[in-house]
Structure 1
Amino acid sequence: MLLPFALILVVLLKVVNANAQSSVTITTTSGRLQGIEGDGVTSFKGVRFGQPPTGSQRWTPPVAFVSNSTQNAKVLGPACVQQFPFAVAALNELLFNNPQDPPTEDEDCLFLNVWAPSTKPTNTTSSLKPVVFWIYGGALVFGTGSVPLYDGMSLASNQDIVVVTSNYRTNVFGFPGAPDLPLQENNLGFMDQELALQWVRSNIQAFGGDPDRITLMGQSAGAVSVAEFVSRHPIDPPFRAAILFSGATPNSAPFSPTAFGPFNDFSTALNCTQPPGAERLACLKALSADVIRAYTNGPTSGIFGAVVDNVTSFDDNLNRILLNSTARVPQLVGNTQNDGTLFTVGQSNLSAFLDSFDLGGIISPDTVRALYPGQNDTNVIADAYRDIVFLCPASLWTQAFVQSGISSVFRYEYGQLSYAFCTYSSYITINLPIGAVFPDLQVFPNAGAFHASDLQEVFGTYNASTATANEITLSKTYQTAIANFIKNPDQSPAPNWPKYLPGNNTKTLARLAYNGNVDTGNFVQAEKSNSQDSPCTELWNIFLV
């Protein structure tokens, strides 16, 4: 019996694909890892670095996982238990949780992933590859390294670097804000990140990576996490450079017992009504993760986050920078041009917006409008959110480091909502977005170059079926610039990208991909260093320092 040609072709393609990948084994402190080698990259996924933080170990600092056994490292591990804030839960899941095939969730989630170029160094020291350690965002309440957005294949293959992504506990599991615990044991997610980085330092040379050339890279809450790394490692930091996409922590509010409110409400709602302490904690540890998730993703839950403990998180970062009490490492810091739109979808009431920041009785709407002339209130709200949460902190953070004597600081702003106008008649005008604002990324109204829209360009994980030629080019250009910094953080990452010098007498703010410029030669436009900062200096910095 003759097989149909199509069936023969399918069989042949499967054979070719199987031959293109092969198994590879590397010995680490987590055991003998069985990964996959193919297309010039070896990948190891779902590598356990921490013991399961479950049962009696719930809400305890992570403990390193050590084994001599063989481990299957070919499949991504589960995400930590997620909390998706309610008003924009569906949008957050669309953007950050791969809803068509979401990762499974499990309280046992301390896993990491490694992508490394297959070509091993010829010398055990001089030719080791630089390493990037990625920390995802998600407001410290959701996020995982187990989604396609953060796949390290393209970065490792195209840029000849080792890429590591790692899970950390989020929301009430990782940042409980519990009076039942010692204050210094509340930021468990930051401790998970530290443990994962320790694993990388101990093991990455086996993958061809250089433990002395690790760059921390994070976005949003991941960038805040990187900032906290910088703040708490003033001596011999376990990394040599830092990249902060849309997130920095100039100063935080000092610790207040009100931080315990969401955890106390959570305990009461789940019928653990004992006074704060060991008995109440035991009651809560006896609950299943599913029961807890149902509450935290319900309408009565609060939002959980880091507390200032002066061990993992500080309230005086700017002073620490100026006093040389932080890591003295090169940094690349910035924001997207429309970082605020994702968080202000559907908002047009400026007074209500100010109330949400507890500024309603302090600042008038007209005062804010004057900072953003010629814009309607919807855009004013989005830009004000961007400035308060992302742009002004980046300005303060970079300025402090330059003032403290760190010369290798690079500041950027990514993308511009810029249009080419094509008029076909006196009645019809079509607006064609250019620059970093691509049609396949406009997934909600007024999106623009929105928060996290730059990540798929950095990781090279854009949708190949919908991406325009300009988007593909931009991804290659931007990814190369970021990799250049990872390889040598003391040199300009791209042509015309100078080291940052604050003030109005220099042009060192790098505008990236503005006005359709996506090629290596024109990707960076150096603008006046403080050109974006007037709302910060005129108003918002008062509330940030």
Structure 2
Amino acid sequence: MSRSLFLALPGVLSLLTVTSAIPSVSSVGSDLQILLHNDLYGNQSARGEAVIVLRTAQTQEDAAKACVAIGESLWSPASDPKLNDFLAYLSYGMEDESDSIPIDQLWVSSTSKGVCNTITSSGQTGSADCTARLPGLCTQSAALYSVNGTDTEYQTQVSAGDAVYTGYRDKLSFRFLGIRYGSYPERFTYSSPVSASGEVSALQFGSVCRQRTALIGSEDCLYLNIYTPFIPASTGGNLKPVMLYIHGGAFLSGSGSDAVFDGGNLASRGDVVVITINYRLGTFGFLVYGNNTGLNGNYGIGDMVTALEWVQRNIASFGGDPDHVTVFGQSAGAEGIRALLQSPPAAGLFSAAIMESDPRPAVYTRYLKRDQEVALQTMPILTLSGCVSGDVDAEVACLRNYDAASFFSLATIPANNPVVDGHYVLSPAIPFNGTGHVNKVPLLIGHMRDESASDLAQWLQTDNLTLSLASNGLPTLPAAEPDVFPIAKTDNSTTAIWNVTVQVSTESTFSCLDQATAYAAATTSIFPEVYYYQFNRSYQITTYPSGFPNKQLCNAPVTPTHPHGDPDGEYYKCHSGELTTVFGTWRLLGLPERDDNDTPFTQAVIDRWSSFGKTYNPNPDPTYLAIRGYTNTTLEITTSGAWDPVTADSQTLRQLQWPSRQDLFPAKDRCVALGQPLDYFLQPSAQVAASIP
């Protein structure tokens, strides 16, 4: 690595050409922290200052050399002191960190001979004896990550176990991509954590897993990606909470490298370590066969456990606290978390969970036994693949050697259901009555207001509710209960019918049983805390839903004053519409700012999600918000009040909009009519004892 740098030392301003090895905390002699006021406005931000903090105390000369070693120089504070107020975060929590050095002075750039300039965390400039030992501030020259960019110039190495991982930084975080976390197992067997050795490149994403979408990917796909604002010199202190994301896609598609889930903004603004993972999908991740074949299913669930085991062994070297891991996921990813919540091998591997839009098809509500799954999915796969022979061993061998791409081309749904396998999953449902294993962690759960609007097969231009429901595969009972499912009296009767159809689909497929999960958890105290939300503001990603005829319904209405859509107008808040907000990636994806509240709303959601990741409470610490300068979120919380947990006596949720508000669970009577009442998981039929097929 070679570049020219200005090196500012007392009385010296010289141009150096530096050729050096890739820097690490060992070679630099200090831990490294990227710090800025990330307001999510990206390159349009008026708060563009960023620094790399050398937290290890050293002389001014050593601090300057350390900055040069990472391709930077000592930082010059902005002339406007207000632009330096992001440094205040350096003093946050110091009273609770016995092993931390008080940040009362830090080295900055000096141009006068014999004078070594300093700045305090409160932004006060001064000077100190050049031989004093203080932390330092380096410039941060790396640009924001771009989905079309390949700039890995500012590389950094991290040693973890016997391996040395080479990643790079952008303006927001250190990025270590495409790290193999699991062994490449024989098809239909379980992965185990990889113990890498030697130098490992982590500069680009690994292969996605074989999947339905465009028949892309590889079976050798067990990679994870790390986004961290902090690399420690030692793993003894200052470690950050970890948030590990599990992607959705019906267990048939998706990957952790999707730009929608880029972890830079969440890591930077939330001051957490973000991890995204791949896991095996479809037939490769879930195929089941007979009891004596060894094909027990849940390979994809096992991959999630393997990733968590890798995190326990290695994440401290990347700045993450292995004792403080929150798993969060959306759609099938949320369903994966539901499985992890009742999985003995996952015990102790995570400390909190967030389930976004957990879908409720029948086989996800109560997991099937192996023989049921074989009849439902495996036998059609065997038949269509031509592997049926009557010889079980030969059939297994045929499946293991069958062309990978062809599995997704068969005229049947690939295997994509978790199953009661007797190891990763012991019972058909979470045993809220205490008869089986549960990983008892705080839970945040919720859904979009109109989850199913984009997924329904067709919008019939009809004023016949029964026909509309039946045409979309929904129960027609609501048509017979107009008092429970009222049809709005409007001039557009077909829209009124469609709205009820969307409501029935959303409630029967998502919200009723998600609310029943929260109620059962709160009533039985099976989880220490339960918080619930409903998104009433969304920003739909352009890549979803692909192939669905109704995706245009998920966009905010265009008006003369809002050419990109008015988020305060009436539109459908569809499945996946929260993702670019939770990760703060809609700007990264090239989506425009629709109104003045898009960015503040995104700020507030990230602050709430990262707060839950840090404290298991989605109400951010007011002191934290103040010291980081997160005034929009402070205003929102002051205006809207606290987000209350769900209790046995109070079924309450947070309506996430701008501003947000607290409401009671909606649609209790409709959920009863749909056969999914609040006590659904507390009924005897749901409390199935642990059963190994």
1:436-479, Cα deviation, whole Å (9 max, x unpaired): xx98689xxx9721111101111111044423232222211111
Deviation at 1:114, TM superposition (A): 0.5
Q: How does 1:473-492 map to 2 (within 5 A)?
A: 473-490=600-617, 492=619
**1:312 and 2:424 are equivalent in the alignment:** yes
Deviation at 1:491, TM superposition (A): 6.1
Structure 2 residue matching 1:371: 3-state secondary structure: coil
Structure 1 residue matching 2:192: 3-state secondary structure: coil
- 1:320 alignment partner AA: F
Q: 1:35 aligns with which of 167, 191, 206?
A: 167
Match of 2:512 in 1: 392
Match of 2:572 in 1: 448
- Could you tell me how far apart the structure 2 residues matched to 1:79 and 1:49 are? 13
Classify 1:302/1:25 alpha carbon distance in 2 versus 1 (closer, same or farther; 3 Å): closer
**1:415 and 2:544 are equivalent in the alignment:** no
Deviation at 1:65, TM superposition (A): 2.5
**1:114 and 2:233 are equivalent in the alignment:** no
Match of 1:152 in 2: 263
Match of 1:512 in 2: 656
- 2:194 alignment partner AA: F
Match of 2:485 in 1: 371
Q: Are 2:387 and 2:398, in contact at CA under 8 Å, matched by a contact in 1? A: yes
Q: How does 1:87-106 map to 2 (within 5 A)?
A: 105-106=217-218
Match of 2:46 in 1: none
- 1:36 alignment partner AA: Y
- Could you tell me how far apart the structure 2 residues matched to 1:16 and 1:485 are? 29
Match of 2:593 in 1: 467
Match of 2:398 in 1: 283
Classify 1:415/1:364 alpha carbon distance in 2 versus 1 (closer, same or farther; 3 Å): closer
Q: 2:661 aligns with which of 520, 525, 529?
A: 525
1:251-279, Cα deviation, whole Å (9 max, x unpaired): 40542634223222222222212136221
- Could you tell me how far apart the structure 2 residues matched to 1:490 and 1:276 are? 55
Q: Are 2:655 and 2:661, in contact at CA under 8 Å, matched by a contact in 1? A: yes
Match of 1:500 in 2: 645
Q: 2:192 aligns with which of 48, 63, 83?
A: 63
- 1:379 alignment partner AA: N
Match of 2:207 in 1: 78
Match of 2:84 in 1: none
- 1:526 alignment partner AA: Q
Deviation at 1:414, TM superposition (A): 0.6
Match of 1:423 in 2: none
Deviation at 1:216, TM superposition (A): 0.5
Structure 1 residue matching 2:183: 3-state secondary structure: coil
Deviation at 1:498, TM superposition (A): 3.1
Classify 1:51/1:324 alpha carbon distance in 2 versus 1 (closer, same or farther; 3 Å): closer
Classify 1:30/1:200 alpha carbon distance in 2 versus 1 (closer, same or farther; 3 Å): farther
Structure 2 residue matching 1:214: 3-state secondary structure: strand
Q: Are 1:132 and 1:217, in contact at CA under 8 Å, matched by a contact in 2? A: yes
Deviation at 1:301, TM superposition (A): 4.3
Match of 2:40 in 1: none
- Could you tell me how far apart the structure 2 residues matched to 1:485 and 1:454 are? 16
Match of 2:79 in 1: none
Q: Are 1:26 and 1:33, in contact at CA under 8 Å, matched by a contact in 2? A: yes
- Could you tell me how far apart the structure 2 residues matched to 1:142 and 1:35 are? 27
**1:380 and 2:500 are equivalent in the alignment:** yes
**1:172 and 2:287 are equivalent in the alignment:** no
Match of 1:255 in 2: 369
Aligned residue pairs total 477
- Could you tell me how far apart the structure 2 residues matched to 1:407 and 1:373 are? 39
Q: Gaps (5+ residues) in structure 1?
A: 1-14, 85-92, 94-102, 418-430
More off after superposition, 455-464 vs 119-128: 119-128
- 2:507 alignment partner AA: D
**1:161 and 2:292 are equivalent in the alignment:** no
- 2:662 alignment partner AA: A
Match of 1:535 in 2: 670
- Could you tell me how far apart the structure 1 residues matched to 2:390 and 2:162 are? 39
Structure 1 residue matching 2:613: 3-state secondary structure: helix
Q: Gaps (5+ residues) in structure 2?
A: 1-140, 144-149, 489-494, 539-554, 621-632, 687-693
Deviation at 1:480, TM superposition (A): 1.0
Q: Are 2:644 and 2:662, in contact at CA under 8 Å, matched by a contact in 1? A: no
- Could you tell me how far apart the structure 2 residues matched to 1:357 and 1:332 are? 30
Structure 2 residue matching 1:479: 3-state secondary structure: helix
- 1:66 alignment partner AA: S
Q: Kindly indicate which of the two structures has a greater share of residues assigned to helix.
A: 1
- Could you tell me how far apart the structure 1 residues matched to 2:354 and 2:169 are? 28
Q: How does 1:18-29 map to 2 (within 5 A)?
A: 21-29=153-161
More off after superposition, 127-136 vs 149-158: 149-158
Classify 1:136/1:440 alpha carbon distance in 2 versus 1 (closer, same or farther; 3 Å): farther
1:150-190, Cα deviation, whole Å (9 max, x unpaired): 11111112211101111001111101133377577211100
With the length of structure 1 as denominator, give the TM-score of the two structures.
Answer: 0.78
- Could you tell me how far apart the structure 2 residues matched to 1:475 and 1:341 are? 23
Classify 1:147/1:276 alpha carbon distance in 2 versus 1 (closer, same or farther; 3 Å): farther
Q: Are 2:152 and 2:203, in contact at CA under 8 Å, matched by a contact in 1? A: no
Q: Are 1:132 and 1:164, in contact at CA under 8 Å, matched by a contact in 2? A: yes
More off after superposition, 300-309 vs 175-184: 175-184
Classify 1:19/1:502 alpha carbon distance in 2 versus 1 (closer, same or farther; 3 Å): closer
- 1:467 alignment partner AA: E
Q: Are 1:30 and 1:47, in contact at CA under 8 Å, matched by a contact in 2? A: no
Structure 2 residue matching 1:74: 3-state secondary structure: coil
Match of 1:267 in 2: 382
- Could you tell me how far apart the structure 2 residues matched to 1:77 and 1:492 are? 36
Deviation at 1:21, TM superposition (A): 3.9
**1:457 and 2:581 are equivalent in the alignment:** yes
- Could you tell me how far apart the structure 2 residues matched to 1:324 and 1:441 are? 49
Classify 1:432/1:43 alpha carbon distance in 2 versus 1 (closer, same or farther; 3 Å): closer
Q: 1:138 aligns with which of 249, 273, 276?
A: 249
- Could you tell me how far apart the structure 2 residues matched to 1:186 and 1:368 are? 43
Sequence identity (%): 24
